[in-house]
Amino acid sequence: MSWVKRIYPFNAEQTVNIASEFGPLVALFVVNAITGNVEDGTWALIVTTVIAVIAMLVVLKRLPIFPLIASSVTVIFGILTLVTHNPMWVQIKVTIFNAGFALFLFAGLMFKKNFFKYILEKTFHYTQKGWDQFTWSFAWFFVVTAVLNELVRLVYAPGQIYNLFGFTMDGVNVWILFKVALIMPASGLYAWFLTRLMQKHAIPDPDRKDVVATAATGVPVAHKKDPKIATPAS
């Protein structure tokens, strides 16, 4: 493994997904801190979100469904903030989106329609029990982040000035800092933990017939097809 891979283990798709999620929030934070105007920050949020969608299309040659939905919702709520001159819309978007997605995942499990299995099963191969545990865990993670987001939004009101860790900032920037400094690393660590946990549910790729046969019999397919290689006596 190269030193670059050790320092930065993400591939192109993961990089674009991370940038599309947190890049606009960083832009909102920086512009809002510089100008002191949340509407300027919201414009930065919308513009960088559009740029992120374009980057997804250029780098990945497609538009991944989950980041695309999240970006679309961000733009809609950003426009609502500009129209109403109320930053509440940008903030509450996270609560609505996370809570709604959690309900969507729970409903899918109830009706035996696993969302993550549907969009990821060509890349990752797990048992049905594994997919269900993965989805159940992520649904509850979205519930927790929705509740935390709403608590921070209500406690740190926009337009009010707070002293946090020795820095003076308004309520909106406290909320953005919470998202970038706490939720972003927590999301990454939780995803890493679940991915490691899912290894015990891994199964062979069904498209690799040789791997499936080897896993089932313990004898490589090449041994069966090559008469020059003796097989163990039964």
Q: Write down the H helix ranges in 2-87.
A: 3-7, 12-35, 38-60, 65-84
**Higher pLDDT residue, 76 or 30?**
76
pLDDT in tens, 112-128: 888 878 777 666 778 88
Rg (CA), the chain: 23
Q: What is the pTM of this model?
A: 0.70
How far is the C-alpha of 117 from the C-alpha of 192, rounded, in Å?
A: 17
The answer to whether 209 and 61 are in contact (CB under 8 A) is no
The residue with tokens 């609505």 is 96
Q: Where are the domains of the chain?
A: 1-86, 87-203
Mean pLDDT of all residues in 78-90: 90
Sorting pLDDT into bands at 50, 70 and 90, what band is 226?
very low
